[in-house]
Amino acid sequence: MYEKVYESIKNGVLDFGISSEISTQALSADGSIIAEYNISEMNSDQIYKNFNINLTQVHLYSLKQSERFGGKYMYFCPLGFAYSISPVISDGKTIGALVCGPMLIIDENDFFSEITMKYSSETEILDQIKQFLKNIQTVSPEKLKHLSNLLFYVAQNISDLEYMQFLNTEIYSQNNSEINTEISVLKRLMKSEAEYPIFKEKELFNAISQGNKQTSQRLLNELLGFIFFSTGGNIKIIKTRVIELLIQLSRAAIFGGAIQKQVFDMNVKCLDQLERLKTLDDISIWLSQVMVRFTDLVFKFTQLKHADVIQKVINFININYMNYISLEIAAKEVHLSSAYLSKIFNNEMHCNFNLYLNRFRIEKSKILLLDNNITMVDIPSQVGFEEQSYFSKVFKKIVGITPGKFRKNRGHFKSENEIDK
């Protein structure tokens, strides 16, 4: 059925692989190989099997991510190699994908040292990896981004319909459905006095700062639903409220680790683009795309020298922040010494481990503080603080006011002096 498309895919794989000098594959929708161009003579599948890694499943998951977020996706396999993937679309459905990789974004010796620390007893496997690394290209984060763009263009050329139009339509259909659902709920409630859900804005801040696209999109849709309904569709008012959201997205991205200049430059472009938008649909699609770009800036692992290590530590904190965590415990999770983890965490995240952990916990506590059903006494233990006095001390140091005043003012404040007036 797709013979002609598959022929184009094979040519695309060959052209991309030869020009980039990076191994390239074309996969069908079920993960089987349609075509491949290998730089290394060594069987990479065997390398992954030695570590019980199903690389096909990694690629298929990443394919879904690429469909959801604009048609291209950069990711790391469990061993730490970098890949990029773009879907190929025919007759309105994804029939496969182009994948380039593996690649390294850190020095070959550093990569091998980290693998050795994890699998020091597997001498034969380590020898295979060392041989395998000889044919793996090390690329800069910037080059990886451009390779991803190029792969996307090849996939777009093979696809038999306006590629980005399809992807935007899919994103719009899903988002518009969720926004309309939120509006329907608000209509059923019929509470003209309903307050703006500021707590959802706080949750959105947390999701953006953690680079969580799925949760960010859901919360953004809920907020847009409220804004569209409560303003009666007034474009001028909606744009004003959207600018407020844009500021929140910016701050969240910076808090999550994005480079300030990149965020500020993006804001200038966004304000210019928003001015030209005329309909609610255009604003909805545009803001969703902006949100994705902001989350992409957060913990942009392609720019981190020790990307896989930092990612694992951040994920560990995300899951276990309510429990006792120390630098030593986190170091064991990534098979590093605490001193070495402390060094690379400071270098890459520009703050020490404990400061990052406290900031994360305080952001979680803000959400709980906005829920009056949760007592002040219960909140510290729910976000990982053993003592309420220490929680209050850390909260005031980071936020600028006490937890009690934060709750009293529903998260709205400028300075402690102004609150006291």
3-state secondary structure 8-50: HHHHHHHHHHHHHCCCEEEEECCCCEEEEECCCCCCHHHHHHH
Average pLDDT, the chain: 78
Give the pairing of strands 33-37 and 93-103: unpaired
Is the pLDDT at 187 greater than 60? The verdict is no
pTM given for the model: 0.44
Give yes or no: residues 145 and 209 share one domain. Answer: no
Return the structure tokens found at 262: 């990149």
Is the pLDDT at 51 greater than 80? The verdict is no
Give yes or no: residues 210 and 194 share one domain. Answer: yes
> How many domains is the chain built from?
4
What is the predicted pLDDT for the residue at 75?
Answer: 80
Give the C-alpha separation, 199 to 100, whole Å.
41
Supply the range of the domain harboring residue 366.
357-421
Please tell me the least confidently modeled range out of 115-124, 181-190, 398-407. 181-190
Most confident of the following: 251-255, 277-281, 294-298, 386-390: 386-390
Give the C-alpha separation, 175 to 223, whole Å.
12
Give yes or no: residues 7 and 137 share one domain. Answer: yes
Considering just the CA atoms, what is the radius of gyration of the chain in Å? 24
Per-residue pLDDT, averaged over 373-388, amounts to 91
Higher pLDDT, 356 or 223: 356
Is the pLDDT at 363 greater than 50? The verdict is yes
What is the predicted pLDDT for the residue at 186?
Answer: 47
- Structure confidence at residue 417 as a pLDDT band (50, 70, 90): very low
- Which of 145, 160, 175 finishes a domain? 160
Q: Residues 11-48: pLDDT tens digits?
A: 889 999 999 989 999 998 888 898 899 887 666 677 77
Q: Which helix (H) or strand (E) holds 420?
A: helix 416-420
Residue with tokens 């040519």: 11
Per-residue pLDDT, averaged over 166-193, amounts to 49
Give the C-alpha separation, 51 to 62, whole Å.
20
Give the C-alpha separation, 217 to 287, whole Å.
10
What is the predicted pLDDT for the residue at 143?
Answer: 85
Tell me what percent of the residues of the chain surpass a pLDDT of 70.
79
Give the pairing of strands 24-28 and 33-37: antiparallel
Give yes or no: residues 276 and 191 share one domain. Answer: yes
Give the C-alpha separation, 410 to 201, whole Å.
12
Q: Would the CA dihedral through 242, 244, 248, 251 be positive or negative?
A: positive
Give yes or no: residues 21 and 117 share one domain. Answer: yes
Q: Is 84 helix (H, G, I), strand (E, B) or coil?
A: strand
Report yes or no: 365 and 378 within 8 Å, Cβ to Cβ: no
Q: What is the DSSP letter of 303?
A: G
Give yes or no: residues 154 and 43 share one domain. Answer: yes
Measured from the Cβ of residue 24, the count of other Cβ atoms closer than 10 Å reads 26
Measured from the Cβ of residue 125, the count of other Cβ atoms closer than 10 Å reads 15
The backbone torsions φ and ψ at residue 83, rounded to the nearest 5 degrees and listed phi first, read -140, 165
Return the structure tokens found at 127: 């020898």
Return the structure tokens found at 80: 């730490």
Give yes or no: residues 75 and 43 share one domain. Answer: yes
Higher pLDDT, 239 or 2: 239
Give the C-alpha separation, 337 to 38, whole Å.
36
Give the C-alpha separation, 268 to 253, whole Å.
15
Return the structure tokens found at 126: 């380590």
- Distances from the Cα of 186 to the Cα of 58, 172, 182, 190, angstroms: 39, 21, 6, 6
What is the predicted pLDDT for the residue at 421?
Answer: 39
Q: Which of 224, 212, 214 is nearest to 181 (CA)?
A: 224
Give yes or no: residues 19 and 156 share one domain. Answer: yes
Is the pLDDT at 412 greater than 80? The verdict is no
DSSP for 55-68 reads: HHHHHHHHHHHHHH
- Which of 297, 315, 338 finishes a domain? 297
Higher pLDDT, 293 or 56: 56
Is the pLDDT at 239 greater than 50? The verdict is yes
Is the pLDDT at 328 greater than 70? The verdict is yes
Residue 85: CATH number of its domain? 3.30.450
Give yes or no: residues 177 and 121 share one domain. Answer: no
Q: Is 344 helix (H, G, I), strand (E, B) or coil?
A: helix
Give yes or no: residues 40 and 20 share one domain. Answer: yes
Please tell me the least confidently modeled range out of 114-123, 228-237, 306-315, 404-413. 114-123
Higher pLDDT, 212 or 43: 212
CA dihedral 145, 138, 340, 302 (to 10 degrees): 10
Per-residue pLDDT, averaged over 192-213, amounts to 73
Per-residue pLDDT, averaged over 404-414, amounts to 76
Q: Which of 314, 325, 292, 343 is nearest to 110 (CA)?
A: 343
Q: What is the DSSP letter of 301?
A: G
| Cα 220 versus chain centre, distance | 15
Higher pLDDT, 84 or 68: 84
Give yes or no: residues 79 and 205 share one domain. Answer: no
- Structure confidence at residue 194 as a pLDDT band (50, 70, 90): low
Q: Give strand pairing partners of 27.
A: 33, 97
Give yes or no: residues 154 and 8 share one domain. Answer: yes
- Helical packing angle, 198-209 and 280-297, nearest 10°: 40
Q: Residue 253 carries which side chain, given as an amino acid letter?
A: A
